[in-house]
Chains A and B, each alone.
Chain A
Amino acid sequence: MVSAPVQVAPPVQAPAPVRRRLPRWVAPVAGVVAVVALYVAFRGKAVLPHDDDATVFHWLNDARDWVDANRNSSPIFLYVVNYLRLGVSEIYTLIQGALVALGWPGLIGLAAGLGWLAGGWRIALVSLAGFAGVGVLGFWEASVDTLALTLSAVVLSLLFGIPLGIWTGRSPRVRRIVTPVLDVMQIMPTFSYLSPIVLLLLIGPASATFATMIYAMPPAIRITSLAIQRVAGVTVEASESLGATGWQTLRKVRLPLALNTIMLGVNQTIAAALSMVPLVALIAAPGLGVDLLRALARVNVGAALIPGVAIVLLAIVLDRMTRATAQRRDGGGRARVVRWAGFAVLTAAGLVLTSVLAQEFPEQWHVQLVRPINDVVEWIETHWYTFTGFLNDFVAYGLLNPLQDVLTSAPWWLVTAAVLVFAWRVSGPVAGVIAAGCLAGVAALQLWQHGMETLTIVLVASVITIAAGLALGVLAARSRWFAAGLRPILDAAQTMPSFSYLLPAVALFGNGRFTAIMASFIYAVPVVARLVEDGLRAVPATVMEAARSAGSTDRQLLWKVQLPMARGSLLLAANQGIVMTLAMVVIGALVGAGALGYDVVAGIAQQEDYGKGLAAGVALVLLGVMLDRITQGANGRRSPHKKRNA
């Protein structure tokens, strides 16, 4: 199911075989028949029903109690962990204090100045408008907190990420160790590591910064490493032959040449950090996420959309700024003077205004949008009710329940074996063993049933998402007109924080699994569509010409030439679609999607469920790794640029 793109490969009819071989479809069909037969024979045996009292959970609870009791006496805490917490919250307080001290006109001025410095008047204008817009929406203070948290996480991520990136860039051995770790860091549903972080660092901005770093650091490391590797060997050799030491070569040759690419890494790191904003509000991080969560609890779509837009504005400003810096070409001395002068003028203007204007962003400048948005939502809710209800029931009764029944009533060894064989066939023996191992791990954590429930939602959501993304991508690749219309919509959908999607979904479909599916659909379709489109467009024109002159129809062209040739991109699209869906389905627990995501939420919120929540977090990571390995496929190596971050 997961590998839909693979199956579209044309059945190769062996041309006049010398020795008759079995047709290619025999093995898969035999496999499916075997699995079905075993399922029928062993249905209901070796199932692992959920037990809230599992021993693993008790162990983890005991571990929690130990940490709780020794937080102020064990040397690990006294000398390491507590200092980490202290240091990081110190950094946050410092940055937050500085941003607040600038005052709102000062901060807007500084942003405009930095924009000017990065890319001239255009970027300055974007920064000015973006930051002022945040104030106009009525979220100035929360946005400053969010900005401070994001900056602390980004600064720390770069502080550790760039040196690590340089190291991995230069040593293939380190690269081999670091790459899988980064893979896991990025595949892990962000939800799953909140509990362990809270256990060690308690709630508050410090743990929020750490949680953000886990997600934001990988792009910094990956892209820095890539940038260093790309510096041409000839240049390095030239520098070395001139007698430069290793350190000199690094500082004067490698780093400057890699700088623009590294700035892209900074860009990705910032985007990743901003995407964590709503989530870390669950562990008492101040900022826009708090408003989002509160709106979610009140099922108030308008009130959730506005802070979402504020996050988007911050994201756009920081993105354009860093992107412009990455693309900048150094002009002459004159240009430099103009740049710095502009920066100074804009910043100074802001600071002067700070001392003149009111301390808080003026309330009469706020725009009220909550009510009109809610009016629209209410209209849709009352008028589309039959349709949305039908859709919900159709998916729940038609797809989710039957699949869930099968997965939870099948013996665990049968599911694991089926995954082993399937992954082996699609992505090779290593992937097969890892995938099966992950699934066995879920069973060992005594979370089999909830794991299967989560898997059900993810599979259904992924199929819907990939099908829609494929259709959109194919259409966009065929028609420039369609692509041009689609692009801005996809851009917007991609920058909104994922949490914002829960709200419209809840408003339309009520609480439950289907809502989580719809939210992940909106979240993941843009990426899938884009990857499919890129893949199809990358098919060489000459190949297309050849096929066309051989008399292929458009349809044949698509199915027999374009799709098979874009196999790599399609696999990548499937992979990204599934990983993103998993992340979103887990968050869907906040609106009643249940299963592992719910266990994690409950683990944070109820102390007797702590162990279950922690185990569920690990199980989610295992599921993520499993799905990722299965879909990475033969040539679907993921590139760090394509990992969706915002």
Chain B
Amino acid sequence: MKKLRLIAGVLVLGLSMAACGGAKVEDDSAAAPSASAAGSAGASAAGTVKIAINGWVGYEASAAVVSHLLEKELGYKVEKVTLAEEPSWQGMESGDVDVIIENWGHPDLKKKYIEEKQVAVEAGSTGNKGVIGWYVPEWMAQKYPDITDYKNLNKYADLFKTSESDGKGQMLDGDPSFVTNDEALVKNLKLDFKVVYAGSEAALIKAAKQATEQKKPLLMYFYEPQWLFNQVKLVKVNLPAYTEGCDSDPKKVDCDYPPYDLDKIVSKKFADTGGKAYELIKAFQWTNDDQNAVADDITNNGMSAEDAAKKWVEANTAKWQAWMPK
């Protein structure tokens, strides 16, 4: 019974803490990037940075290096929030996310959260060039040279049949939350395929490896930067060329993915009050090879993200020192 009273007290306290004018979501005091520094043990004096972790290892590599520098060089505490891409943007509004370290386009979200709601701002390019496309294993491109033109895909649809593809060819996609137009592409290009979601990057990688080793046919969604291209040869299928605006209506897309200049997004609040942490993140810029090196260590060399980041930081002092706030 005593406990109940205590809780009731806390509730009243919590309610009265917010002013009587009604509660807006940004009022959430715990959301301020540096406000949660005091109190919880282990937090350092500089404050806490909440970095969203999206579900592919390249992202994790960038996040690991930035976190390492924030913690070891600037004395911040980093909270990694594992989230899908769109919920990460929502986290900027709710105060659960300060930083998205690798954003793939998302013009619709930029419009909503940067222009309309004004809870997020752009923090510049990561230097990584992003490519999304459809790939087949190299042996298929050798055996069926014309397969790399989308117009010939229907001719080979039978090869790609699986138990999950309803008698059509299987177009293997990744995590349902990834940037993808594939269902619209299949429909609008009149391909006799069905999009099947493998569920994750790891599942795609596994499929690519099996397809290469066991010479199994495979058509899949994939992307660069990606360490796998150093291990397994994949050939890109040519979709109708991308032209400005051809992908503006998600239901009517019938062209290839645009080239992506991957960029960083931070919450408005973090941009205003993030201090040195914000400056570092704004200055962070590296190459696809850099990212692949760290991602490769995480995935294939049995290193934790922290260790892989540490290794890269130790070997590339000149690069990261250029990012450091003066």
Is A592 within 8 A of B90, CB to CB? no
Which of B42, B87, B206, B299 lies in contact with A283, CB distance below 8 A?
B87
Residues 84 to 102 of chain B near chain A (Cβ within 8 Å): 84-87, 90-91, 93-97
**Does chain A have a CB within 8 A of B183?**
yes
Q: Are B201 and A297 in contact (CB under 8 A)?
A: yes
Which residues A487-521 have CB closer than 8 A to chain B?
Answer: 506, 510-514
Q: Are B14 and A604 in contact (CB under 8 A)?
A: no
A155 at the interface (CB under 8 A from B): yes
Say how far B74's CB is from chain A's closest CB, in angstroms.
20
Q: Give which listed residue, B82, B87, B250, contacts A294 with CB less than 8 A.
A: B82
Within 8 A of B (CB), among A82-120: 82-83, 85-87, 89-91, 93-94, 96-97, 100-101, 103
Are the CB atoms of B22 and A97 closer together than 8 Å? Answer: no
Q: Is B314 part of the binding interface, using a Cβ–Cβ cutoff of 8 Å?
A: no
Q: Which listed residue, A155, A511, A601, touches B198 by the CB 8 Å rule?
A: A511
User: Do A87 and B15 form a contact, CB below 8 Å, given A97-B40, A297-B175?
Assistant: yes
Residue contact B25 to A299, C-beta cutoff 8 Å: no
In the complex, B322 has a CB within 8 A of chain A: no
Q: Which residues of B contact A85 (CB under 8 A)?
A: 23, 25, 28
Within 8 A of B (CB), among A386-408: 392-393, 396-397, 400-401
Query: Which B residues touch A397, using CB under 8 A?
Result: 163
Cα–Cα distance between A401 and B162 once the two chains are bound (Å): 11
Chain A: CB-nearest residue to B18: A86
Q: Is the interface of A mostly helix, strand, loop or mixed?
A: helix
Tell me which of A78, A286, A294, A607 contacts B24 (CB under 8 A): A78
Question: How many angstroms between the C-alpha atoms of A505 and B27 in the bound complex?
Answer: 44
Q: Is B154 an interface residue (CB 8 A)?
A: no
On whether the beta carbons of A284 and B42 are closer than 8 Å, the reply is no
Complex Cα distance, B163 from A204, in Å, reads 38
How many of chain B's residues touch chain A, expressed as a range? Answer: 35 or more
Please tell me which one of the listed residues B11, B22, B41, B302 contacts residue A103 in the complex, with CB atoms under 8 A apart: B41
- Taking a contact as CB atoms under 8 Å apart, the answer to whether B4 and A90 are in contact is no
Q: Contacts A606-B176, A606-B177 known; A592 to B196 CB distance under 8 Å?
A: yes
Residues from chain A with Cβ under 8 Å of B40 in the complex: 96-97, 100-101
Query: Is B17 in the interface zone, CB < 8 Å from A?
Result: yes
Given A86-B15, A297-B55, A598-B197, A608 and B250 touching (CB < 8 A)?
Answer: yes
* Beta-carbon contact of B251 and A91 below 8 Å: no
A299-B42 CB under 8 A given contacts A75-B22, A284-B87: no
Contact in complex: A86, B14 (CB < 8 Å): yes
Task: Show the binding face of A for B, using Cβ within 8 Å.
Answer: 52-53, 68, 71-72, 75, 77-79, 82-83, 85-87, 89-91, 93-94, 96-97, 100-101, 103, 155-156, 159, 198, 202-204, 281-284, 286, 290, 293-294, 296-300, 359-360, 371, 392-393, 396-397, 400-401, 506, 510-514, 589-592, 594, 598, 601-602, 604-608
Closest 6 CB pairs of A and B: A78-B22, A605-B177, A396-B163, A90-B14, A82-B23, A202-B94
Chain B interface (Cβ < 8 Å from any Cβ of A): 3-4, 7, 10-11, 13-15, 17-18, 21-28, 30, 39-42, 53, 55, 57, 79, 81-87, 90-91, 93-97, 108-109, 112, 163-164, 175-177, 183, 196-203, 206, 250-251, 299, 302
